[in-house]
Copies of this chain bind each other. A is one copy, B any other.
Amino acid sequence: MGATQRPTIKTVAARAGVGRTTVSRVLNGSPLVSDEARAAVQAAIAELGYVPNSVARSLVTSRTDSIALVIPESESRLGSEPYFSAVIRGVSNGLAGTQIQLLLTLVRDRRELDQLTRFLTARRVDGVLLVSVHRDDPLPGLLEKLGLPTVLAGRRSPAEPLNHVHSDNVGGAREAVRHLLERGRTRIATIAGPQDMDVGDSRLQGWREALRDAGREAGESLVAPADFTEEGGRSAMRSLLERHPRLDAVFAASDVMAAGALAELRRQGRRVPDDVAVVGFDDSIVARHTDPPLTSVRQPVEEIGRTITELLLQEIGERGSARHHVLLPTSLVVRDST
């Protein structure tokens, strides 16, 4: 009791002395409405505090005016990785000014994946943003089969056919390693990202290319893959030091892993940058606060978020438009760790 019934389009029509259809036309900005009718309708809307029922609209238009941002990660990463927050912020920026709502879906396990699959099959969103894709991720294939507009942040492989936006991981890594070479480092190891992700691959490839360009060896024993976590970075550093006690530089494929590496180096009494120089990737908040502050490859994460959103909106608007692959530049931020 108390909460009086919400006005519907009928109420408004009656109040304005016009038909339902005319109200609908005003609502949807049709030009085929006389000025008087439009004014009457607008007055009625204001008096009644009418707000259209978007569920009813969705039922007939089969648009939902919402998109999903899917983060298929073990919970540990959202949180430690400022990356995701920045993407979210970018997406939200890209959505500003539209009426489109953002659904956030974390996929942690098999059950949640099944649930998401049903959700997407039911077309409860107009499009999907996929972040942090793995090579064998089932989602991109599903989305393509469903014909649901999709844009990836990152790519499954260099041959990614779907719309995607990524930063120049190869180039960024090369620049980082070149920087280490310029600083006179000669034994440069790398803590690589997961090898089932293109970011991992590409940054490793950049490391290799830079070393080869300089005529240096890029042996596999100088590579320790980890999982983008701090603890992973720490133990990767440990194993690198065991294999190459005399290494004098490390390129880590993320700041968080670099932070783990710093901790291990400190534990073993190595000075940074005097004994070992360290470069990270992301230029996240972590990089500014480590001891010493971390030289890092900056990637425009927020811009990635904004761009995938813009591409998605475009794809939703005009189906079957050409595929877009956007590459965003990185830049090296030099601090005290090198």
Contacts and interface: CB of A to CB of B under 8 A. Distances in A.
A292 B291 contact: yes
Interface string A102-133: 11111010001001001101111000000000
A302 B106 CA distance: 14
A68 to B, nearest CB: 8
11 contacts: A51-B121, A51-B122, A53-B122, A54-B124, A75-B89, A75-B92, A79-B85, A85-B85, A92-B106, A101-B103, A102-B103
B82 A89 contact: no
Interface in A263-305: 285-286, 289-292, 302
Nearest to A292: B291
A285 B86 CA distance: 16
A335 to B, nearest CB: 12
Interface of A: 3, 6, 49, 51-56, 58-59, 62, 64, 66, 69, 75, 78-80, 82, 84-86, 88-89, 92-93, 96, 99, 101-106, 108, 112, 115, 118-119, 121-124, 147, 259, 285-286, 289-292, 302
A222 to B, nearest CB: 25
Q: How many copies does the complex hold?
A: 2
B118 A80 contact: no
B3 A285 contact: no
Contact of A56 (B59, B64, B79): B59
Given A52-B122, A99-B115, A80 B285 contact: yes
Contact of A93 (B62, B75, B101, B115): B75
Contacts of A89: 75, 78-79, 106
Contact of A118 (B51, B53, B88): B51
A104 B106 contact: no
Given A79-B86, A85-B84, A101 B96 contact: no
